[in-house]
Amino acid sequence: MKNQDFKIYCVGGAVRDQLLGLPVQDHDWVVVGSTPEAMVARGYQPVGKDFPVFLHPDTHEEYALARTERKTAPGYKGFAVHAAPDVTLEQDLLRRDFTVNAIAQDANGTLIDPYHGIQDLRAGILRHVSPAFAEDPVRILRAARFVARFGFSIAPETLVLMRTMVAQGEVDALVPERVWQELARGLMEKTPARFFTTLRTCGALSKIMPEVDALFGVPQPPKYHPEIDCGIHTMLVLDDAAQHDYALEVRFAALTHDLGKGSTPKDMLPRHIGHEQRSVDLLRDMSTRLRVPSECRDLGLLVARFHGDVHRAQELRADTIVRLFQSCDAWRRPERFTQLLQACAADARGRTGHEQDAYPQAEYLVRLLQVAQAVDAGEIAGRCEDKNLIAERVREARIEAVGCALKS
């Protein structure tokens, strides 16, 4: 690997995270001064479709030839790639998104930082490397994700560029699968609310998730804290879910549980009458548009529909509680019911001054679910002469068991 005709550099996130003192998950390697034929001759396996990328014969890590890119069409795929031995490291780094990701390290550990990424890293600033940033709309989503991960601020000139990109329709060219990929990663960051507030600041949220954007500025019902609107509340709920390390499905449900409040007709304010069904309808449409995976969509729909019932669990009758279990398919999917309770707990805590509150409804419903599950459906089926009545008899037995538990 020490041939004089080519040099290998570690670049991007691995160098950035190393400088931040964070664990390095993956390495990105750039090869300067080589050709595809020379890489194959050295035992590297070609895998790149759009540009020359190769797998190392021993480590199987990806090595990309230094390249430049030229915009040829709208969207993140509209690029012409030029990879050749005469492309320099500085040219390759110039095409990258942020200065903090345009730092390279050679085999001796020497850092090459032509665009002052180390300085921005120390200051906690995301700054675009060149005007070519505007050619790839995915970079708007990446900027929001890095803000959520590292707590960095965005340089004023970069924010202006992001707003210009949105105004020029670059975000509209993003394909749903790529949007969801970045959204999912943003949801799993340390403070995911920053992901969405960053998108809102540059105007991209209204393009990508208008249903979420519409929540900002809408007043909360009077019984909640009027000093925060529905959008801010949603962000608090989302960050609470992240602080409790809940799964992606729960975080998505936390984000989307109140979508209907963003479209409440004026005559139904301030109580947001009927917002649960509006939330369900909006979430179903949004999930189709963004190709949201079924696990996230289905939990989100359950939380949107039933979080009010879960909050009132201790006021519900036995038959209503059993109907809740049935509607959520808690008999066969108890783990999803647990996720429903997690999202509801995050919703309850997502209000100023309630961050540390307990959520007794969860333990209450789990206990009653165990009572209902203890009903021997097989025994009831064996005693039931009319097989068409089995389901009803099982339901009645579960209601009776839960009712007895409520009285004890």
pLDDT band at residue 254 using 50, 70 and 90 as cut-offs: very high
Q: Please check the confidence at residue 239 and state whether its pLDDT lies above 70.
A: yes
Q: What percent of the chain has pLDDT over 90?
A: 75
- What DSSP assignment string belongs to 60-121? --EEEE-EEEEE-SSSTT-EEEEE-TT--HHHHHHTSSBGGG--EE-TTS-EE-TT-HHHHH
Q: Please check the confidence at residue 4 and state whether its pLDDT lies above 60.
A: no
SS3 label, residue 46: strand
Structure confidence at residue 68 (pLDDT): 86
Q: Please check the confidence at residue 243 and state whether its pLDDT lies above 70.
A: yes
Count of beta carbons in the 10 Å neighbourhood of residue 244? 13
**Cα three-residue angle 395-304-216, rounded to 5 degrees:** 165
Structure confidence at residue 378 (pLDDT): 87
What is the average pLDDT score of the chain? 91
Mean of pLDDT values over 251-275: 80
Contact by Cβ (8 Å): 314, 364: yes
Whole-number Cα distances in Å, 16 to 30, 109, 184, 256, 257: 15, 13, 22, 33, 36
Higher pLDDT, 41 or 357: 41
Structure confidence at residue 268 (pLDDT): 61
Mean of pLDDT values over 223-231: 77
Note the pLDDT tens digit of each residue in 268-290: 665 566 788 999 999 999 999 99
Note the pLDDT tens digit of each residue in 94-117: 999 999 999 999 999 999 999 999
Ramachandran angles phi, psi of 200, nearest 5°: -70, -40
Please give the structure tokens belonging to residue 43.
């035992």
Which helix (H) or strand (E) is 154 found in, with range? strand 153-154
Model's pTM, two decimal places? 0.89
Distance (Å, whole) CA 60 – CA 15: 19
Mean of pLDDT values over 360-371: 96
Contact by Cβ (8 Å): 15, 48: no
Q: Please check the confidence at residue 128 and state whether its pLDDT lies above 60.
A: yes
Q: Please check the confidence at residue 3 and state whether its pLDDT lies above 50.
A: no
Residue whose pair of structure tokens reads 């990109």 in the numeric block: 165
Note the pLDDT tens digit of each residue in 71-102: 656 555 556 778 888 899 999 999 999 999 99
